[in-house]
Amino acid sequence: MSSPDVAALELRGLKKVFTRPAVDDLDLTVRAGELYALLGPNGAGKTTTLRMVAGLTQPTAGSIRVFGVDAVADPVAAKRMIAWLPDEPMLYDKLTPMEYLEFVAGLWGVNAKTARKRAQELLEWLALWEHRGERCEGFSRGMKQKAALAGALIHEPRLLMLDEPLTGLDAAMARQVKNVLQEKVRTGATVILTTHILDVAERMADRIGIIQHGRCWPKAVWPN
């Protein structure tokens, strides 16, 4: 068990070069139990940063620690604590949300009874409970996004990372998602989300990091 004051995420000198640097010597610390927004314009390097943390792309240089675990050296241990929700999440369309959540829970080794209880709670929070028996293929984009969010939360990750989670959601859905994220933080999880909208960052986050051209700029974290 990590000590209570260990950071949820610590990035040091993180770098990713494709043809040009997408993330360039990035330093960032996210404390355990906070809701942190990574704010920046399109192409700033937000997604690439979080994809490296999730182990989906290898850093060119630098270090990544998730609750003290070196995620580059031991990606499996780090991934057990993380959930990653991309901006266009994949769902198994032929499944109902309940079947999807039970399937994902099974992949994480969550027992069936616990999985059903958590699934019900998440679907109720996200106003999908009445649709639990319908196949996801008939869902709107927002409903699919919410079902994918429930899937990301089913194993109760300590660190939840979401790429532009409110994009494309109507006001009611955005509120449901915000409520779920705030509830998760209240019960001890750490949430990092990316956004290019200042208003979203300001209204949701405890702290904001501003990223531009692959750097936190200028060492910008607000408030400290």
Ligand X SMILES: Nc1ncnc2c1ncn2[C@@H]1O[C@H](COP(=O)(O)OP(=O)(O)OP(=O)(O)O)[C@@H](O)[C@H]1O
Which residues contact ligand X by CB under 6 A?
A: 18, 22, 40, 42-48, 196
How far apart are CB 152 and ligand X at their closest, in Å? 18
Report the C-alpha gap between 185 and 173 in whole angstroms. Answer: 19
d(CA 72, CA 16): 13
Q: Write down the residue that tokens 């028996």 correspond to.
A: 133
Length reported for the chain: 224
Measured from the CB atom, the residue of 43 and 138 that comes closer to ligand X is: 43
Q: How far is the CB of 136 from ligand X (least distance, A)?
A: 24
Nearer Cβ to ligand X (21/33): 21
Query: Which amino acid belongs to residue 5?
Result: D
| DSSP track, 77-124 | HHHTTEEEE-SS----TTS-HHHHHHHHHHHTT--HHHHHHHHHHHHH
- Whole-number minimum distance, CB 41 to ligand X, in Å? 7
Whose Cβ is closer to ligand X: residue 60's or residue 120's? Answer: 60
Nearer of residues 39 and 122 to ligand X, judged by Cβ: 39
* 221, β-bridge pairs: 209
- For the CB of residue 76, give the shortest distance to ligand X in the complex, in Å: 23
In whole angstroms, the minimum distance from the beta carbon of 101 to ligand X comes to: 27
Round to whole Å and give the CA distance between 185 and 103.
Answer: 25
46 vs 144 by CB, closer to ligand X: 46
Residues 19, 161: Cα–Cα separation, whole Å: 26
